[in-house]
Amino acid sequence: MTDATRDFLIAPSILSADFARLGEEVDNVLAAGADIVHFDVMDNHYVPNLTIGPMVCEALRKHGVTAPIDAHLMVRPVDRLIDDFIEAGASYITFHPEASDHIDRSLQLIRDGGCKAGLVFNPATPLSYLDHVMDKVDMILLMSVNPGFGGQAFIPGTLDKLREARRRIDASGLDIRLEIDGGVKVDNIAEIARAGADTFVAGSAIFKAGSEVDPHRYDSVIREFREQLAGVR
Protein backbone atom coordinates (compact mmCIF):
# COMPACT_ATOMS: atom_id res chain seq x y z
CA MET A 1 0.00 0.00 0.00
CA THR A 2 1.42 3.38 -0.94
CA ASP A 3 0.97 6.71 0.83
CA ALA A 4 -1.41 7.83 -1.89
CA THR A 5 -3.85 5.01 -1.29
CA ARG A 6 -3.61 4.76 2.46
CA ASP A 7 -6.81 5.62 4.27
CA PHE A 8 -6.53 7.38 7.58
CA LEU A 9 -8.59 6.30 10.58
CA ILE A 10 -9.17 8.26 13.78
CA ALA A 11 -9.44 6.24 16.98
CA PRO A 12 -10.44 8.25 20.06
CA SER A 13 -9.09 6.73 23.27
CA ILE A 14 -11.98 6.58 25.73
CA LEU A 15 -9.46 6.65 28.57
CA SER A 16 -9.95 10.43 28.57
CA ALA A 17 -13.75 10.28 28.24
CA ASP A 18 -16.20 10.96 31.07
CA PHE A 19 -16.68 7.44 32.42
CA ALA A 20 -19.90 8.42 34.20
CA ARG A 21 -21.52 8.89 30.78
CA LEU A 22 -19.43 6.55 28.65
CA GLY A 23 -22.11 5.36 26.22
CA GLU A 24 -23.05 8.92 25.36
CA GLU A 25 -19.38 9.94 25.03
CA VAL A 26 -18.77 7.12 22.54
CA ASP A 27 -21.94 8.04 20.62
CA ASN A 28 -20.73 11.64 20.49
CA VAL A 29 -17.23 10.94 19.14
CA LEU A 30 -18.63 8.58 16.53
CA ALA A 31 -21.24 11.14 15.51
CA ALA A 32 -18.40 13.66 15.26
CA GLY A 33 -16.73 11.47 12.63
CA ALA A 34 -14.41 9.11 14.52
CA ASP A 35 -13.81 5.72 12.89
CA ILE A 36 -12.74 3.36 15.68
CA VAL A 37 -13.22 3.24 19.46
CA HIS A 38 -9.82 2.78 21.15
CA PHE A 39 -10.39 0.90 24.41
CA ASP A 40 -7.46 0.97 26.90
CA VAL A 41 -7.32 -1.97 29.29
CA MET A 42 -4.89 -1.56 32.20
CA ASP A 43 -4.38 -4.06 35.01
CA ASN A 44 -2.24 -2.27 37.64
CA HIS A 45 0.36 -4.98 37.04
CA TYR A 46 1.74 -4.71 33.52
CA VAL A 47 1.14 -0.94 33.75
CA PRO A 48 0.69 1.20 36.89
CA ASN A 49 -2.96 2.06 36.34
CA LEU A 50 -6.34 0.33 36.44
CA THR A 51 -9.11 0.95 33.94
CA ILE A 52 -11.89 -1.00 32.28
CA GLY A 53 -12.43 -4.59 31.17
CA PRO A 54 -14.56 -6.81 28.97
CA MET A 55 -17.82 -6.06 30.80
CA VAL A 56 -17.56 -2.44 29.73
CA CYS A 57 -16.82 -3.46 26.14
CA GLU A 58 -19.90 -5.66 26.17
CA ALA A 59 -21.94 -2.84 27.68
CA LEU A 60 -20.94 -0.54 24.81
CA ARG A 61 -22.09 -3.17 22.30
CA LYS A 62 -25.39 -3.53 24.17
CA HIS A 63 -25.71 0.24 24.17
CA GLY A 64 -25.71 0.03 20.37
CA VAL A 65 -22.14 0.84 19.38
CA THR A 66 -21.48 -0.84 16.01
CA ALA A 67 -18.16 0.85 15.13
CA PRO A 68 -14.99 -1.23 15.45
CA ILE A 69 -13.73 -1.50 19.04
CA ASP A 70 -9.94 -1.59 19.31
CA ALA A 71 -9.06 -3.29 22.61
CA HIS A 72 -5.52 -2.33 23.63
CA LEU A 73 -4.56 -4.84 26.32
CA MET A 74 -1.97 -3.52 28.76
CA VAL A 75 -2.25 -6.62 30.92
CA ARG A 76 -0.22 -9.63 31.96
CA PRO A 77 -0.99 -12.45 31.39
CA VAL A 78 -2.96 -11.76 28.22
CA ASP A 79 -4.53 -15.01 26.96
CA ARG A 80 -7.44 -15.29 29.37
CA LEU A 81 -8.52 -11.71 28.61
CA ILE A 82 -8.26 -12.35 24.88
CA ASP A 83 -11.08 -14.87 25.18
CA ASP A 84 -13.11 -12.45 27.28
CA PHE A 85 -12.72 -9.63 24.76
CA ILE A 86 -13.65 -11.88 21.85
CA GLU A 87 -16.85 -12.73 23.74
CA ALA A 88 -17.40 -9.06 24.62
CA GLY A 89 -17.50 -7.98 20.97
CA ALA A 90 -14.05 -6.47 20.39
CA SER A 91 -13.00 -6.00 16.74
CA TYR A 92 -9.25 -5.55 17.14
CA ILE A 93 -7.33 -7.02 20.06
CA THR A 94 -3.74 -5.85 20.51
CA PHE A 95 -1.26 -6.84 23.23
CA HIS A 96 2.32 -6.13 24.26
CA PRO A 97 4.71 -8.96 23.28
CA GLU A 98 6.60 -8.71 26.58
CA ALA A 99 3.35 -9.52 28.39
CA SER A 100 2.78 -12.85 26.61
CA ASP A 101 4.86 -15.99 27.14
CA HIS A 102 3.74 -17.33 23.75
CA ILE A 103 3.26 -14.50 21.30
CA ASP A 104 2.39 -16.67 18.31
CA ARG A 105 -0.25 -18.52 20.33
CA SER A 106 -1.82 -15.30 21.60
CA LEU A 107 -2.03 -13.90 18.04
CA GLN A 108 -3.61 -17.13 16.86
CA LEU A 109 -6.14 -17.10 19.71
CA ILE A 110 -7.29 -13.66 18.60
CA ARG A 111 -7.67 -14.63 14.95
CA ASP A 112 -9.33 -17.94 15.81
CA GLY A 113 -11.92 -15.88 17.69
CA GLY A 114 -12.68 -13.92 14.53
CA CYS A 115 -10.95 -10.70 15.64
CA LYS A 116 -8.11 -8.76 14.10
CA ALA A 117 -4.81 -9.24 15.93
CA GLY A 118 -2.11 -6.73 16.75
CA LEU A 119 1.20 -6.30 18.55
CA VAL A 120 2.00 -3.18 20.57
CA PHE A 121 5.50 -1.77 20.86
CA ASN A 122 6.53 0.36 23.83
CA PRO A 123 9.02 3.15 23.04
CA ALA A 124 12.00 0.88 23.87
CA THR A 125 10.59 -2.38 22.51
CA PRO A 126 12.31 -3.49 19.28
CA LEU A 127 10.35 -4.19 16.10
CA SER A 128 12.24 -7.48 15.80
CA TYR A 129 9.33 -9.10 17.65
CA LEU A 130 7.64 -8.97 14.24
CA ASP A 131 10.29 -11.09 12.51
CA HIS A 132 8.48 -14.41 12.61
CA VAL A 133 4.84 -13.36 12.95
CA MET A 134 4.37 -10.69 10.31
CA ASP A 135 1.80 -12.85 8.53
CA LYS A 136 -0.19 -13.19 11.75
CA VAL A 137 -0.78 -9.52 12.54
CA ASP A 138 -3.47 -7.19 11.20
CA MET A 139 -2.26 -4.19 13.19
CA ILE A 140 1.05 -2.85 14.45
CA LEU A 141 0.62 -0.32 17.25
CA LEU A 142 3.55 1.89 18.16
CA MET A 143 3.40 3.58 21.54
CA SER A 144 4.68 7.14 21.39
CA VAL A 145 4.47 7.42 25.19
CA ASN A 146 5.13 4.87 27.90
CA PRO A 147 1.83 3.11 28.49
CA GLY A 148 -0.31 3.74 31.54
CA PHE A 149 -1.69 7.25 31.28
CA GLY A 150 -3.31 9.69 28.92
CA GLY A 151 -2.07 13.23 28.45
CA GLN A 152 1.67 12.52 28.06
CA ALA A 153 3.95 14.16 25.48
CA PHE A 154 4.75 12.47 22.14
CA ILE A 155 8.26 10.92 22.15
CA PRO A 156 9.91 12.26 18.94
CA GLY A 157 12.07 9.15 18.35
CA THR A 158 8.87 7.30 17.49
CA LEU A 159 8.89 8.98 14.07
CA ASP A 160 11.96 6.98 12.95
CA LYS A 161 10.41 3.83 14.36
CA LEU A 162 7.23 4.53 12.38
CA ARG A 163 9.28 4.84 9.19
CA GLU A 164 10.92 1.47 9.93
CA ALA A 165 7.53 -0.15 10.66
CA ARG A 166 6.13 1.32 7.43
CA ARG A 167 9.08 -0.13 5.48
CA ARG A 168 8.43 -3.56 6.99
CA ILE A 169 4.72 -3.42 6.17
CA ASP A 170 5.26 -2.25 2.59
CA ALA A 171 7.98 -4.88 2.04
CA SER A 172 5.63 -7.60 3.31
CA GLY A 173 2.89 -6.67 0.86
CA LEU A 174 0.40 -7.55 3.60
CA ASP A 175 -2.66 -5.58 4.65
CA ILE A 176 -1.52 -4.37 8.06
CA ARG A 177 -2.60 -1.16 9.75
CA LEU A 178 0.04 1.02 11.45
CA GLU A 179 -1.41 2.68 14.51
CA ILE A 180 0.16 5.32 16.74
CA ASP A 181 -0.83 5.91 20.36
CA GLY A 182 0.22 8.69 22.72
CA GLY A 183 0.50 12.45 22.50
CA VAL A 184 -1.20 12.76 19.11
CA LYS A 185 -2.42 16.36 18.64
CA VAL A 186 -3.65 18.58 15.82
CA ASP A 187 -0.20 20.13 15.50
CA ASN A 188 1.74 16.85 15.08
CA ILE A 189 -0.69 14.46 13.34
CA ALA A 190 0.47 15.42 9.82
CA GLU A 191 4.12 14.73 10.63
CA ILE A 192 3.11 11.40 12.21
CA ALA A 193 1.14 10.48 9.08
CA ARG A 194 4.07 11.38 6.85
CA ALA A 195 6.23 9.01 8.91
CA GLY A 196 3.87 6.19 7.95
CA ALA A 197 1.02 5.91 10.45
CA ASP A 198 -2.49 5.35 9.10
CA THR A 199 -4.48 4.93 12.32
CA PHE A 200 -4.35 7.62 14.99
CA VAL A 201 -5.28 7.16 18.63
CA ALA A 202 -6.02 10.41 20.44
CA GLY A 203 -7.39 10.64 23.96
CA SER A 204 -6.83 13.96 25.67
CA ALA A 205 -6.67 15.86 22.35
CA ILE A 206 -10.25 14.83 21.59
CA PHE A 207 -12.01 14.47 24.92
CA LYS A 208 -10.57 17.64 26.43
CA ALA A 209 -11.47 19.65 23.32
CA GLY A 210 -15.23 19.97 23.71
CA SER A 211 -16.42 23.54 23.30
CA GLU A 212 -17.37 25.70 26.27
CA VAL A 213 -20.92 25.72 25.00
CA ASP A 214 -21.02 21.93 24.93
CA PRO A 215 -18.05 20.15 26.55
CA HIS A 216 -19.16 16.84 25.06
CA ARG A 217 -19.12 17.77 21.34
CA TYR A 218 -16.06 16.73 19.44
CA ASP A 219 -16.79 17.71 15.83
CA SER A 220 -14.31 20.56 15.60
CA VAL A 221 -11.20 18.69 16.78
CA ILE A 222 -11.94 15.71 14.55
CA ARG A 223 -12.46 18.08 11.61
CA GLU A 224 -9.08 19.69 12.37
CA PHE A 225 -7.41 16.27 12.41
CA ARG A 226 -8.94 15.49 9.00
CA GLU A 227 -7.84 18.84 7.59
CA GLN A 228 -4.28 18.15 8.71
CA LEU A 229 -4.40 14.64 7.22
CA ALA A 230 -5.86 15.88 3.94
CA GLY A 231 -2.65 17.85 3.41
CA VAL A 232 -0.61 14.63 3.68
CA ARG A 233 -2.23 12.70 0.84
3 is annotated as an active-site residue: no
Contact of residue 53 among ligand DX5, Zn ion, none (CB under 5-8 Å per partner type)? none
Q: State which residue, 54 or 150, has the beta carbon closest to ligand DX5.
A: 150
Q: Which residues of 27-43 are buried (b: 16+ CB within 10 A; e: fewer)?
A: bbbbebebbbbbbbbbb
Binding residues for Zn ion, rule CB under 5 A, total 3
Q: Which stretch binds ligand DX5 (CB under 6 A): 29-37, 76-84, 123-131, 147-155?
A: 147-155
Q: Which residues of 84-100 are buried (b: 16+ CB within 10 A; e: fewer)?
A: bbbebbbbbbbbbbebb
Smallest distance from ligand DX5 to CB 181, Å: 5
Q: State which residue, 108 or 152, has the beta carbon closest to Zn ion.
A: 152
Catalytic residue, candidates 35, 40, 43, 198: 40
- Interacting positions 122-181 with Zn ion (CB under 5 A): 181
198 is annotated as an active-site residue: no
Is residue 40 a contact point for Zn ion (CB under 5 A)?
Answer: yes
Q: State which residue, 14 or 176, has the beta carbon closest to Zn ion.
A: 14
* 114 carries a ligand binding annotation: no
Is residue 96 a contact point for Zn ion (CB under 5 A)?
Answer: no
Catalytic residues: 40, 181
Binding stretches for Zn ion (CB under 5 A) = 40, 72, 181
The binding site for a divalent metal cation comprises 38, 40, 72, 181
Binding stretches for ligand DX5 (CB under 6 A) = 13, 15-16, 38, 40, 72, 145, 147-152, 181-184, 201-205
